[in-house]
Amino acid sequence: VADLAMGEPKQVRPKQVRLVQPAIPQNEKWNREKRPAHLQRLIELSSGTLPIPQLVIWPETAFAGLLGAERELFTKTVASALPYDGLLVTGVPRRHSRFLLLNSAVLVQPDGEIRESYDKQRLVPFGEYFPFRDLFPFATAIVGPMDYRHGTSRTPFTLQHYGLVQPLICYEVIFPGIVSQTEPRPDILVNLTNDAWFGGTPGPYQHLEQARMRAVEEGIPLLRVANTGVSAGFDAYGRTLARIDMDQAGFVDVNVPDPLAPTFYAIWGETLLSIGLLLLAVRTINLDRKRSLRQ
């Protein structure tokens, strides 16, 4: 039955994507002196083998500088990495206000022009923001005044030949129900992450498997691009299309199949689970009442 259910996803048109994993150590990631070398690595991995797919994807905060403050460097880097008709999806921090940043994914043209952007909605407590900062004024002296601000919209990027591409940043991918029921259904899910934080723990592999589950739940191919961790492409059944292992710098070109029709979970979500729990609660209450009457 499983073999019959898990056929080959239909491929209406070829959709090749290059996933780039620079494998930059966490203790070097935000070192300004090493930034030129880090950007050069991204350029070389992106453009090293011809032909370059029209869509290239870099990981979370691949450009480790504030976009507004270092726009010229960003534009020069993108122009060196992409073909004339190419597009880049990359992670980049942006400034929202004086003390608020955004952890963003942007869709960029070869001239550095940002066509679309997505801001991370589920932030990591104590990592990206300090909860209830107003109640703990002393915290600013310890962790500094800056926080990340959560995004408010989950609208997919629109790419010719690729369809609708929904970015998910870091651990956003571990949460079920990531596809909005009020927005158009995406053709591809893209998870940008940096799993160097985990070090030598099982964390990167657990994160990878949780990302795979989202592809299966929604019936949508998922591309996972890590600074270091495990970068991989999955089809709509969760089968691995390509992979770059932990701590390996490299790139891989993935032929992305089309999504499936909305799955049972995509349509119903947690509704049946909620109904089941409600029925179980009612049944338990009835049994308790019967025992009380007998006594």
Domain residues of the chain, as ranges?
A: 2-262, 271-295
Q: For the chain, give the mean pLDDT.
A: 88
Q: What percent of the chain is modeled with pLDDT above 70?
A: 93
At 244 the pLDDT is 96
**What pLDDT, in 10s, does the model give residues 229-264?**
899 999 999 999 999 999 999 999 999 999 999 888
Structure tokens at 128: 């990206």
Before 51, cis peptide (omega within 30)? Answer: yes
The confidence score (pLDDT) of residue 10 equals 62
pLDDT > 60? residue 17: yes
Total Cβ atoms within 10 A of residue 43: 18
**In the prediction, which pLDDT does 7 show?**
63
Active site residues: 60, 120, 170
Where residue 1 falls among pLDDT bands split at 50, 70, 90? very low
Q: What's the pLDDT score for residue 2? A: 46
pLDDT at 137: 75
* The pair of three-digit structure tokens given for residue 227, joined into one six-digit string: 């600074």
CATH number at 2-262: 3.60.110.10
Query: What is the rounded distance in angstroms from the CA atom of residue 236 to the CA atom of residue 257?
Result: 8
Q: Model confidence over 263-273: pLDDT tens digits?
A: 888 888 778 78
Average pLDDT (203-225) is 95
